[in-house]
Chain A
Amino acid sequence: MSAIENLEPAIQPAAMHPLLGRAWESTGHLRASVAGLIGFAIVLLWVVVALFAPLLERYGSNEIVTKPLPASWSTSNLPSGVYLASERLHRNGRSVPGYYRVNGPPSADAWLGTDDQGRDIYTRLVAGTRPVLTLPILAVLIGGSIGILLGLWAGYFGRWADEFAMRLLDTLIAFPTILILLLISSSLGPSRFTVVAALSVGAVIAVARITRGLTLELRQRNYVTAARLRGESSLYVMVREILPNAAGPIVTDLTLRVGYAIFGLATLGFVGLGVPPPAPDWGSMVSDGRDYIISGAPWESLFPAVAIATLVVGLNLLVDGIREQRGKYR
């Protein structure tokens, strides 16, 4: 495996700050891949939406889109899917009855339609970008850190440490990931904390394996021997000599893990074991709207499903782009 290779020395503009130069250099692989760039653009789009979510939202995320009742409609005979609002609206200093529409099609008032409770799907979709990005990233950071430590430890010390860790991981990998997620979520009860805990378990297993593989390879290098002979502690050798040289592939893998964690979060939300309602969660939205697809109102399900699909595909294209350019297409 030629996983560890040095980036070819790129032309570094002299005026650039060294750190900026390194960041630019490390995007070199990506800049050469069209698919990678498309993936990067998609992911960037969602990140921007998440950053500016409060500005983009048109209503409250649990607000029912209510409009004043037209005079031509009689309150006793409303069109199907239209209901009288429980509170009256105030227009021009007068109090008027309001109505809302459930599973309404896209319109000027609700760009992507309204959901089964009459809330604005567009607003909930935008508000949902925050949990869908932060929770998986948090889970991967937590799970990834544990996985890196475990992998370094197993790969560096070898022998029984390695044997033990690998047996454990091989055993856990035999467990379908979604079942682990279901078990943890159902036993701890649904909450943000549970979701992050469940998602990070998946990351630990995968990251520990890849880190161990890299460590086994790097352990043989001369600079590691040199550091050891210099009398550096094992911890120093692992963290300062091995880890920086394994960082490239590990970071790539972590990015991929974020994609899997989003996959997991959406699925947990869909089966009702994710972020508890009424928080705007893409997976729950897909599941809440599912039954209305057949009756011709796919909006509540369809748009979050498209959002999930684009985000996950974007991340995968991004990672593929990086890998392909590195020449380790797997």
Chain B
Amino acid sequence: MARYLIRRVGTTAVTTLVLSFVVFVLVEVSSPVSVCRRILGRFATDEQVRDCNVRLGLDHPLWDRYLTFLHHAVTLNFGVSTLLSQPVMTAVVPRLERTLVLALIAFFAIMPLGIVLGTFAALRQARLTDRAVTVAGTVTTAIPEIATGIFLLTIFSGELHLLPGAVVLLPGQSLASHPSYFVLPVLTLMLVDVGYIARITRSSMLEVLRSNHVRTAELKGLSYRKVVRRHVLRNGMLVPVTVIAYHVNWLIGGVVIVEAVFGYPGLGQLLLQAAYERDVFVIEAGMLILVVVALVSQMLADIAYMLLDPRVRLT
């Protein structure tokens, strides 16, 4: 078990390293126009660009810059944002908190509902409830967040005037005092993701229902309730747990988009703003943080899976 843990942490570390390189290359190297040229615009003189290069340390060779970037990442000091003229971390941390709050609320709204609906559908396979859950799930999951968000906005803000259409925070106000700001973003994420989780749970449960040990339990004379409770639910949960882990990726992507749709002042919006304004250090820091969040949550889920399923522990 200890060996498994060590190996899992090791692969997470290596993956983070590789992805940090991908982020570095995509932000600083792959562009046809140099970083400083992008910041200063077309009309800056070559002199100004050179000054900027020196100031941001971009005149150093590539490997040196990558090492600096890694050093920055490890010490959590990503330099100064060119757009906001404040340290990157000062800008990023409060945004990250808000994003995580939104993601967590969404996560705990989506998972139980998806799992319950999926289990319900599996136990009533091919009946009306099952059909309804499956078809509704397919449809809502397929619709992109931007469309779902617009539908909800049109109904709840445009027509009914029930909920705020965009987050407006005066300086000093905190999001926590306005719970209504969370309703539409979370609802959007739920509509997109609940169907998916329900589907995964349903097919996993169906597989267990068809398996030999369930048939044995039935033939042994256990009541249907007991079979479901003891054999189906526990085994049927294994696949959803792993899928949910990898789903955190999807949730993060979804949160970034939902933030843009509803003007939610989180890390996703900061990243988008940085992308327009070519604020390279903020892009690097934000991307890396989101990648680490995705990887760590996957690692935690893999460990949870191991605790749930003793068979994995042995290998």
Contact = CB atoms under 8 A, between A and B. Distances in A.
Given A298-B154, A305-B150, A174 B138 contact: no
Given A187-B27, A312-B142, A266 B147 contact: yes
Nearest to B200: A330
Interface size bracket, B side: 35 or more
Contacts of B246: 173
Contacts of A283: 146
Interface in B241-278: 246, 249-250, 252-253, 256-257, 260-261, 271-272, 275-276, 278
Contact of B146 (A267, A329, A330): A267
Interface string A234-276: 0000000000000000000000000100010011001111000
A210 B173 CA distance: 49
A129 interface: no
A80 B246 CA distance: 50
A174 B291 contact: yes
Contacts of B26: 183-184, 187
A270 to B, nearest CB: 5
A293 interface: yes
Contacts of B32: 188-189
A317 interface: yes
Contact of B154 (A263, A301, A309, A329): A301
B158 A171 contact: no
Contact of A266 (B142, B144, B157, B290): B144
Contacts of B19: 171, 174-175
A12 interface: no
Contacts of A294: 153, 157-158, 165-166
Secondary structure dominating the interface of B: helix
A176 B157 contact: no
B18 interface: yes
A286 interface: yes
B203 interface: yes
B203 A308 contact: no
A292 to B, nearest CB: 9
A186 B283 contact: yes
A64 interface: no
Interface size bracket, A side: 35 or more
Given A174-B291, A174-B298, A179 B144 contact: no
A184 B27 CA distance: 8
Counting chain B CB atoms within 10 Å of each CB, the highest count among A178, A184, A296 belongs to A178
B165 A293 contact: yes
B294 A267 contact: no
A89 interface: no
A171 B298 CA distance: 12
Contacts of A266: 144, 146-147
Contact of B256 (A171, A178, A263, A296): A178
A171 B15 contact: yes
A182 interface: yes
Contacts of A186: 275-276, 278, 283
Contacts of B153: 290, 293-294, 298, 301
Interface string B131-153: 00001001101111111101101
B249 A174 contact: yes
A263 B144 contact: yes
Counting chain B CB atoms within 10 Å of each CB, the highest count among A177, A185, A293 belongs to A293
Contact of B31 (A188, A316, A317, A329): A188
Interface string A313-330: 101110010000000011
A196 interface: no
B295 interface: yes
A176 B138 contact: no
21 contacts: A174-B249, A174-B291, A176-B250, A176-B256, A178-B257, A182-B275, A184-B30, A185-B275, A186-B276, A263-B144, A267-B144, A267-B257, A270-B146, A270-B261, A283-B146, A294-B157, A301-B150, A305-B147, A309-B151, A320-B138, A330-B203
The 10 nearest A-B residue pairs measured at CB: A186-B275, A178-B253, A176-B253, A316-B142, A305-B147, A305-B150, A294-B165, A309-B147, A298-B154, A309-B143
Given A308-B143, A308-B144, 20 more contacts: A171-B19, A174-B249, A175-B22, A176-B256, A182-B256, A182-B271, A183-B27, A183-B283, A183-B287, A267-B144, A271-B260, A293-B150, A302-B151, A305-B147, A305-B150, A309-B144, A309-B148, A309-B151, A312-B144, A313-B142
